[in-house]
A and B are shown apart, each in its own frame.
Chain A
């Protein structure tokens, strides 16, 4: 727990991954983005079987290999060495994206630069003139996967809100985000805008609202509201 003299920072990245993993149903097929989403594999509840998909052609991604037994032909979308579980399958890229674009995957967990209260997502480009544009599979995932959830710090390194009324960075997709897990709260994107479902210990609703660039509705059960 935080010391009284320190500003509470809410949940850790592992807490966020644990909360996201808790909400993934038993039997789900899940694609994980690079960064905080990768931690989700470590927090799947023991009574749940979740199958992880990677865009480059594997269903049934297993844990990282032991040092020295990496195989350069067995990697994930972040080009890191992985293993394949018993019951895994390999396939080519068009089949892999048919799984994504055809609505066969249950959950996509992604990082974000910005999420708007309408569910717009920006996570592929800062739009800077000299940046090398690179999109990978992000636009396919948000367009095709049944449920899109975001794991991200609530604010940028300089304290700017990442949850905003309108994204200023180039969009990955419009109206695609279902839920956001941040270090401060679990927030659903609804037709009424952002709705806080859970708030991290030590964080008040007022602090949460102050660090968010769009209005938030307090959707917690009355007993938890402050």
Chain B
């Protein structure tokens, strides 16, 4: 019988080892799987490559993982946002590596990785610093650069509801990178507000089909990153 439900965030992340690549969902705090990230802080794995649109805020969630010295390399489109100070400090000190990727290229690299596409061509970044050194081709008179598909050992994602098969639905703009990261990771670990019985999610409304999800953890009342930042909280 298929049962993807795990008992706790700590159990679900227990095999994320040193040197792993980890995709982390969310756009700012929307969709950020904060309890799973905190479990990874507790676990203490080091030398991680993290693929995420931003670099967190304050000293909680992704920012806490970075502040804890666990991340060697970030693949990211926008590493400075309001209340984001941990990444800039470490970056200026030369203690963390950055691969800056245009946001649409980042999303498409993840989607392509999940779809078994090793590389593709895009017009984004042609003639700019971020297109330098990349293979170029001309199709129908327009220039394109080659970008590689991205895969990862693990994905940490937040969704709204899931069933034991791993079918997921999300909330509003908290969906963002979740569906494609589930596709692109060998092990997609998802925290949901509620685990429901099979059949409770209308098959017509499933956003991420269960085949892309390996582990599901119920976190009924997730912490809100901006509230923690406002309170000046620091994890752990």
Chain A interface (Cβ < 8 Å from any Cβ of B): 54-58, 71-75, 79, 84, 90-94, 96-98, 100-101, 125, 130, 132-140, 143-144, 170-174
Contact = CB atoms under 8 A, between A and B. Distances in A.
B102 interface: yes
Given A71-B172, A73-B30, A136-B77, A92 B123 contact: no
Contacts of A91: 175
Interface stretch (B2-10, B36-44, B80-88): B80-88
A173 B142 CA distance: 13
Given A79-B82, A101-B122, A171-B127, A73 B107 contact: no
A contacts with B: majority SS: loop
A191 to B, nearest CB: 16
Contact of A73 (B77, B173, B207): B173
Nearest to B180: A94
B80 A93 contact: no
Interface string B118-131: 00001111111110
B103 A94 contact: no
A67 to B, nearest CB: 15
A209 B219 CA distance: 61
B107 A90 contact: no
The 3 closest A-B pairs by CB, nearest first: A140-B104, A97-B104, A174-B127
Given A84-B172, A134-B79, A72 B226 contact: yes
Contacts of A125: 129
A195 B115 CA distance: 46
B108 interface: yes
A84 B123 CA distance: 30
7 contacts: A72-B226, A94-B110, A101-B123, A130-B92, A132-B79, A143-B126, A171-B127
Nearest to B98: A133
Residue among B81, B88, B102 with max Cβ neighbours from chain A (10 Å): B102
Contacts of B129: 125, 170-171
Contacts of A174: 126-128
A140 B103 contact: yes
B191 to A, nearest CB: 14
Given A140-B103, A143-B126, A170-B129, A92 B175 contact: yes
